[in-house]
Amino acid sequence: MNGLGGLNKSPNGIVIGLVQVQLPVVRTKAELTAQTQKVVGLVSKARANMPTMDLVVLPEYSLHGLSMDTNPTIMCTLDGPEVAALKQACIDNKIWGCFSIMELNPGGYPYNSGIVIDDQGKLQLYYRKMHPWVPVEPWEPGDVGIPVFTGPKGARIALIICHDGMFPEMARECAYKGAEIMLRTAGYTAPIRESWRFTNQSNAFCNLMVTASVCMCGSDGQFDSMGEAMVCNFDGSIIAHGTTGRVDEIVTAEVRPDLVREARRHWGVENNIYQFGHRGYTAVAGGAQDCPYTYMTDLAAGRYKLPWEDEVVVTDGTSCGFPRPTRRFGEILKDAAE
């Protein structure tokens, strides 16, 4: 099925390249410009490395590093020079690309955003990280939902970012909206290695969906990222795995969205994404389609509260040096000050 990592590409296959980018230090606009050119070079490397590659995926923080610096002079915009350079790289190399930017937000903290650009240089996906890795990350929580786009060979593809993948609801939402492949980009460090591995596998199996995931790699002198590029098949098995920790390594795999579609239509046992909304269809026609999950109904009603909620110790970013927020979600800085 993997065709030797994409060397022997099948007619229905999509070859994905996951780049374990060296963790950079970016403090100034000049350093951001230099790192952008480094990423552009890695897109060219991916094309030269695997002529059959359809989509190259670079990890979260590949432009900005892990400093959590919110300095507006090094934030990106969708119409800025960094995104323009990434678009040109996709055109020049005739390849789709998935990239990470820290996005300027005049109304609050920056967004941690992901974009996918097609081989014509057009923006096909724009996503804002829903679940920043609190209390460490200061980013504004995402407000554009989880988009799904049509990629190479007509594959339906979604993107989530790092900590998003620890919430099974995120992967389920991707699949529910039709994603056959879910990308997950990250900047995770070594303590998360095992949970990274098993969530990538479980997100795939529980939703009959291919997952393709990659972290930053190497050290910036303070933090150590782990690489750990992974491609998991819809049955949860690992197709490809970057275990060497080698910086800028490109881990490749061929995936088959046509077989995802086949499984979703023809599996009986363990067709979990269907059976979740059709409980016990052997006993009752069509299965039960109610919502018996209290946490879902409470969240939808705006009353989500854990039994131990009042005892939770860490509920803001003060432990990581950020001020306690006063602005509510949806407010901009000006509104909160009035």
Active site residues: 60, 129, 162
Joined together, the tokens standing for residue 170 give 């995120």
- Rounded to the nearest angstrom, the gap between the alpha carbon of residue 5 and the centroid of all alpha carbons in its chain is 21
CB 168 within 8 A of CB 211: no
Q: Which amino acid is at 120?
A: Q
Rounded Cα distance, 265 and 150, in Å = 19
Q: What is the DSSP letter of 62?
A: T
Position 131, amino acid = H
* Cα distances (angstroms) measured from residue 42 to each of 20, 38, 52, 97, 337: 10, 6, 16, 11, 44
The phi, psi pair for 112, rounded to 5°, reads -95, 105
Residue 198's H or E segment, with its range, is helix 193-205
β 111-117/55-57 pair status:
unpaired
**Encoding tokens for residue 254?**
């061929």
Report phi then psi at 106, rounded to 5: -60, -20
Place of tokens 């303590």: 191
SS (H, E, C) 1-15: CCHHHHCCCCCCCEE
Tokens coding 153 = 């060979």
Mention every residue, 6+ apart, whose C-beta is less than 8 A from residue 274: 264
Distance CA 109, CA 105 (A): 6
**Residue 103: both structure tokens together:** 């996005």
Q: Which SS3 state, helix, strand or coil, does residue 186 take?
A: strand
